[in-house]
Amino acid sequence: MVVEDETIVAMYLTDMLEELSYEVCGVAANAADALKIAERERPALALVDIGLAGPQDGIETAQALRERFAVGSIFMSGASDPVLLERARAAGPHGFIQKPYDERQLKTLLNNAAPQH
């Protein structure tokens, strides 16, 4: 699952994941949609933008996904705010990737996270 509030970025990630032979069970632009998709599809892993807009940021969204549905997360961010990045690291993601995304780095993170799910 991809949790990203920028439509073009979400489409780019979905295409990249499908090219890497991963199935994308849904794309969510906010926490509420992510939780609905997770309840319906039960994904093993979510790529989550930590800077997600809305009442819950990406970190809170990932925590809710893990607590309610045992969905692991790989965090994505273009942010350089050290406080936000520390919050993200403390949340225990399976990985972290900085924007702009590198396909090889993403593939490595996904492969490393896969055995855990």
Strands (E), the chain: 2-3, 27-28, 45-49, 72-77, 95-98
Model pLDDT for residues 72-115, shown as the tens digit of each residue: 999 998 877 888 888 888 999 999 998 888 888 889 988 888 65
Of residues 109 and 36, more confidently modeled? 36
- Name the band, by pLDDT with cuts 50, 70 and 90, for residue 117: very low
CATH, domain range 2-78+89-104? 3.40.50.2300
- The share of the chain scoring above pLDDT 90, in percent, equals 64
> If you search the block for the tokens 């790529």, which residue do you land on?
47
- Name the band, by pLDDT with cuts 50, 70 and 90, for residue 46: very high
Contact 53, 32 (CB under 8 A): no
Q: With 0-12 CB in 10 A as exposed, 13-18 as middle and 19+ as buried, what is 40?
A: exposed
Computed over every residue of the chain, the mean pLDDT equals: 91
| Bridging pattern class, strands 27-28 and 45-49 | unpaired
